[in-house]
Amino acid sequence: SQNRKYVIAVLPGDGIGLEVMPPALRCLEAAAKRFGFKFEFREYPWASCIYYQEHGVMMPSNWKELLKACDAIYFGAVGDPASVPDHISLWGSLLLFRREFDQFINLRPCRLIPGVPSPLANRQNHTIDFVTVRENTEGEYSSIGGRIFEGTSRETVIQNTVFTRQGVDRVLRYAFELARSRPKKKLTSATKSNGISITMPYWDERVEEMAKEYPDVKVEKYHIDILCAHFVQRPHTFDVVVGSNLFGDILSDLGPACTGTIGIAPSANLNPVSSKDDSAKEWMPSLFEPVHGSAPDIAGKGIANPIGMIWAGQMMLEHLGEKDAATAVIKAIESVLARGGTNLLTPDMQGKGTTQSLGVAIEQEIINVV
Ligand code: NAI
Ligand code: MG
């Protein structure tokens, strides 16, 4: 339609989040300009440890209202473990968004892109191309449990895993549909039903049940430990990999690491059923972020790889329905990486480049790429 405009909540967060956000916003602006739509970026300093240190909370009390006024959330990274414990910063921001906006799908594409050195031996370009689908609201990351008899010899700590039929089925359905839409039509389920003998056999049961509805999708399952080994030894055999909150989290760092660096890996936290046009239901925006965290070890040096942030923006464009712009951004990333060069690639890709110069190269490419 004419006059397409998207209001985006921009939350750079901490550490390298503050460094990769500006070049990524310029890339999105370039795509918008080229494809004839507009962005309104509403940048907020909260959901950061910087804000926490000043206010004693991670976010203002009206955070939900502010975010719900937007079409999507574009998030950098949160965390400053030297000043704020990670469970406070993460539970006070990102994990709240995922839960309160019911972003039950965490989608992480994982591709070996020509130009990025892979740590795996004998890899040819484009031989890794899969997506992990992680359950994002329940499972092992539950707030049910507690401590009792603290500080005594009876000290006891319990945290319960929660699998609901609704929660398991909706992530499986999303993964099966995704597998059906891809050429390989293959789904791999991560389990551990040999050791975790109550919840994981339930997960397997639901996979089997749903597989009946998707006879065209080839289904396999592996225990998480050997699945990790397969990710390293034969990553080219995967297509869609679905896992619980914990297993999905682990796999979605391991996958991108096998393709060279987590610095390029994007992630979408989706509520695929909420729509702004549906006034009957509460609107819940989705969130787009790089896989990586705030990287305190390299923060402030200007050498963070901006591609994870930019690629997350590409997923946001796709989600907003701007397919041509999304295609241009991914092509721009690919062509800049293929051109490569020590002076352009950031140190995590064995180069000497900077956040700034790599960001500008991709921005230019978005404007020019055919
Ligand atoms: P991390 O992802 O921040 O860093 C892990 C390693 O990868 C570091 O050596 C870092 O330098 C490198 N790295 C990460 N992103 C990079 C990039 N774009 N370019 C180049 N190198 C990059 O994970 P870590 O160290 O476990 O956590 C640091 C902080 O970030 C903690 O406070 C943690 O809680 C938080 N965190 C936040 C996440 C989020 O906001 N979604 C996700 C993961 C961690
Ligand atoms: Mg993780």
Residue 184 phi/psi, 5-degree rounding, is -75, -25
Residue 74 phi/psi, 5-degree rounding, is -115, 115
Domain boundary among 228, 258, 288: 258
| 134 and 249 housed in the same domain | yes
Tell me which of 115 and 150 has the higher pLDDT: 150
Nearest alpha-carbon partner for 284 in 84, 136, 89, 119: 136
The residue written with tokens 């399952």 in the block is 221
Question: Where does residue 175 fall: left (phi above 0), alpha (psi -120 to 50 degrees), or beta otherwise?
Answer: alpha
Structural tokens at position 182? 């891809």
pLDDT of 78 reads 97
What digits encode the pLDDT tens for the residues 51-105? 999 999 999 999 999 999 999 999 999 999 999 999 999 999 998 999 999 999 9
Structural tokens at position 231? 């990710």
What digits encode the pLDDT tens for the residues 330-361? 999 999 999 988 999 999 999 999 999 999 99
Cβ–ligand 1 distance for 92 under 6 Å, the answer: no
Domain total of the chain: 2
Ligand at shortest distance from the CA of 91: 1
Cβ–ligand 1 distance for 322 under 6 Å, the answer: no
| 330 and 299 housed in the same domain | yes
Ligand at shortest distance from the CA of 248: 2
Residue 40: enclosing H or E segment and its boundaries? strand 38-43
pLDDT of 369 reads 77
Tell me which of 49 and 258 has the higher pLDDT: 49
Which of the 8 DSSP states describes residue 283? Answer: -
What digits encode the pLDDT tens for the residues 217-276? 999 999 999 999 999 999 999 999 999 999 999 998 899 888 889 999 999 999 999 888
Q: In whole angstroms, what is the distance from residue 227 CA to residue 244 CA?
A: 14
ipTM over 0.85? The verdict is: yes
Q: Where are the beta strands (DSSP E) in 45-159?
A: 72-77, 105-111, 129-135, 145-148, 156-159
Nearest alpha-carbon partner for 305 in 132, 116, 80: 116
Give residue 295's domain range.
1-103+270-370
| 339 and 252 housed in the same domain | no
pLDDT of 1 reads 62
Pairing of strands 105-111, 129-135: antiparallel
pLDDT of 126 reads 58
Domain boundary among 224, 258, 292: 258
CA distances from 202 to 3, 190, 219 (A): 48, 12, 16
Average pLDDT, integer, range 283-302: 97
Nearest alpha-carbon partner for 73 in 43, 102, 35: 43
Cβ–ligand 1 distance for 262 under 6 Å, the answer: yes
Residue 278, pLDDT above cutoff 90: no
pLDDT of 125 reads 55
